[in-house]
Amino acid sequence: MKRSAFLVGRTFWILTAVLLVTAPDVFAQYLNLQQHMDFGKNRHYFTTTLEGMAVDNYGSWFGFIDVDHESKSSGTANSNWHLGAQLIYFEINRYFSLRGLSNNAFLQRWDITVQYNDSDAAYIPMAYLIGISCNRILGNFCDAHLEFLLRKEEKQKLGWQLTAVWAKEFHLGRGRWQLCGYFDWWKNDSGKFWMAEPQILFNLEQLGIGSRFWLGSKCEINIGPQNSNNSVNPTIFLQYDF
């Protein structure tokens, strides 16, 4: 049964507002809006993504919300690339840094994290996650961290999840580029699943459009215990940094 999109969206915005208001001494914030064209099998729809993070004296928070629009390929509209939400998914993550507890360089690399995932789709259960995150796992080469999490999905036994996140900005010629993405590897009652979303972005300042705009491509890769779980879904997208 499909959950109320209104309730799911409202939950995301309430959680985001609480985190923004209660985040103490925020000294760095980041927010971007992405518009994707999804070319995956049985998809051919737009996905709108709002993504943001904030850093404070106690750690950081990260969150995003995806809105998949309707399409003929997905059986939700009479034509592809149709505007109108068919699915909403979001994640909210809070990280509490251990750097304030000790001057030990090793301990300062670790965070405790609490996370919440939810969707209005019945086949995507809400999930609560708690665990630890190790930062700077690739040193100065790349901004990357690794998370070790306990995962509790709705109506499921306690499982686990391993998450890696990376981002690297570089210059090629006069252009600014970025390689980023993540992978999740998790286990629930149905088995083990693996999902990755590598991305490449090119800043459009060199084209005279402005430094806040990026043109990018993402590839969502899913592997699961059943053939129906496996998919490769490429997108192209335009991103605006606020």
DSSP code for 206: G
CATH of the domain at 201: 2.40.160.40
The predicted model scores a pTM of 0.89
DSSP code for 105: T
Averaged confidence pLDDT in the chain: 90
Which residues form the domain of 76?
Answer: 5-241
Q: What is the pLDDT of residue 1?
A: 45
CA atoms within 13 A on the CB side of 205: 9
Average the pLDDT over 43-70 and give the result: 93
Number of domains in the chain: 1
Average the pLDDT over 122-147 and give the result: 94
Tell me how crowded residue 231 is: count the other CB atoms within 10 A of its CB.
16
Q: Are 142 and 182 in contact (CB under 8 A)?
A: no
Q: Which of 126, 154, 152 is nearest to 8 (CA)?
A: 126
Largest Cα–Cα distance of the chain, in whole Å?
60
Integer Rg of the chain from CA: 19
Tell me how crowded residue 205 is: count the other CB atoms within 10 A of its CB.
15
3-state secondary structure of 10: helix
Average the pLDDT over 61-86 and give the result: 92
Q: What is the pLDDT of residue 104?
A: 84
Q: What is the pLDDT of residue 29?
A: 84
pLDDT over 90 (residue 168)? yes
Q: What is the pLDDT of residue 100?
A: 79
pLDDT over 90 (residue 41)? no
